Amino acid sequence: MADVSAPDFSVLDGKRVLLVISGGIAAYKCLELIRRLKERGVRVRAVLTDSAQQFVTPLSVAALSEEKVYTDLFSLTDESEMGHIRLSREADLVVVAPASADILARMAAGMANDLATTALLATDKPVMVVPAMNVMMWGNPATQANVRTLEQRGVRRLGPAAGDMACGEVGSGRMVEPAEILAAIAGFFAEGAAPKPLAGRRAVVTSGPTHEPIDPVRYIANRSSGKQGHAVAAALAALGADVTLISGPVTLADPPGVRVVRVETAAEMLAASLAAVQTPAGPADIAVCAAAVADWRVATAAGDKVKKGPDGPPTLALAENPDILATLSQPGPRRPRLVVGFAAETRDVLTYAAAKLAKKGCDWIVANDVATGTGTFGGDDNQVHLLRRDAAPEAWPRLSKTAVAQRLAQAIADTFDPSATATSEAV
């Protein structure tokens, strides 16, 4: 969720905001938001959906914004003068407020069936959504799934707030007040203006499972969804790192601002990791091995599908896969300054994680319990311990995987002195 602490509003002067207003009684609050933005030097262009025009008129929005208001995707005049591509990209930030359940669903699905959703799909600028809807609509699993999808793609969310609603019900679903939205927008621009603690640092992150073929149809794999590793890559990039994500087979969208290399097997992941870490420009500063790499592979995969036979299931001869974390942790001039591993355990989590930290030669281990019933594999939350060399384990509370990633990225940033060089000794 976006930070709504009061920043320096001077960062707003000269900024450009595209405000997408969707249908809902909360649309009236956008008139106050436009006024406040204009007072602080923001140029506001607005797009109104058909539903939004049932609550506020283009004339009132135009009077306050002092700009043409856009409503029709197929207006030939608007397309010749502006065009939805230019409209979506000639802004520093796109804000959807109120963001109804309908527009959130259409954004998550990648639809482009009106001007608002077409502009949102075509934009290359950051997007912030400010949800507003009935409490039951907000709590519906479909809406929550859509919000998670958008957040995984880098969309920022502000609210909703809890309280009385126009429909007479009470609960979460109220659009936050214009002052809070204004503060969040200012906070976004202040964040962008602030120095990034990992600027100039290079990071390599592994994520997801590996698939080790038995034959062209079957494979050996772990249950990893890649959500935690992808979130770590996004969090490091948000702090300014140049991030390469080595991803096994997942169904997730690529994190924003991250270079992605897709692999299938452990051998491919090792080769890609070494290529990303050991470049002619020198070693990467950070390596985070969050992937759930299969420990074993079939020694000789069949070229054709293995068929059932009268003698029962075939015997599979297994071979050990390369140890990516141990390989990247080996001492030498090409070792990243900080190497972080993950330990997915089902019992005695701290004991096994401490042993892994000692054995692999890495600097940190992030230990998480993936036992049946925890919901860690494939879920959206995680509870971890951070183990560092010569330090007591840190027990973190149960957090979303995004929050775990942000906390880990900040801990990584805190280990790098701004005056340190990329070739400093391992911490």
Any alpha helices (H) in 123-239, and if so which ranges?
A: 135-139, 141-152, 178-193, 227-238
Side chain identity, residue 411: A
Let me know if the fold of 9-193 is the same as that of 202-415: yes
Facing residues of 164 across strands? 170
Is 188 annotated in some ligand binding site?
Answer: no
Catalytic residue positions? 167
Q: Does the annotation flag 305 for ligand binding?
A: yes
Q: Would you say domain 9-193 falls under CATH 3.40.50.1950?
A: yes
What is the predicted pLDDT for the residue at 84? 65
Give me the DSSP letters along 345-360.
ESSSHHHHHHHHHHHH
Domain boundaries, the chain: 9-193, 202-415
Residues in the chain, overall count: 427
C-alpha span between 374 and 357 (Å, rounded): 23
What's the CA gap between 35 and 49, in Å, rounded?
A: 20
E strand or H helix that includes residue 382: strand 381-382
Any binding-site annotation on 68?
no
* Structure token pair of residue 106: 């259409």
Between strands 399-400 and 381-382, the pairing is antiparallel
Task: Report d(CA 293, CA 295) in Å as an integer.
Answer: 6
Pairing state of beta strands 219-220 and 212-213? antiparallel
What pLDDT is recorded for position 5?
44
Beta bridge partners of 48: 21
Residue 214 known to bind ligand:
no
Residues of the chain with pLDDT below 50 are: 1-6, 76, 418-427
Determine how β-strand 364-369 pairs with β-strand 202-207: unpaired
What distance in Å separates the CA atoms of residue 10 and residue 388, rounded to the nearest whole number? 41
Say which residues have a Cβ less than 8 Å from residue 34's Cβ, sequence separation at least 6: 19, 44, 46, 61, 64, 65
291 closest CA partner among 319, 310, 263, 330: 263
Paired residues of 298 in beta bridges: 318
- Amino acid at the residue 269: M
Q: Residue with structure tokens 């069949």?
A: 302
pTM of the shown model = 0.64
325 labeled part of a ligand binding site: yes
CA atoms within 13 A on the CB side of 47: 26
Quote the pLDDT of residue 27. 94
- Identify the pLDDT of residue 3: 42
Q: Which fold has domain 202-415?
A: Rossmann fold (3.40.50)
**One-character DSSP codes across 62-76:** HHHHTS-EE--TT-H
| pLDDT given for residue 143 in this prediction | 94
Cα 250 from chain centroid (whole Å): 14
Strand 384-388 and strand 338-345: the pairing is unpaired
Q: How far apart are CA 322 and CA 296, in angstroms?
A: 9
Query: In the numeric block, which tokens belong to residue 333?
Result: 């001039």
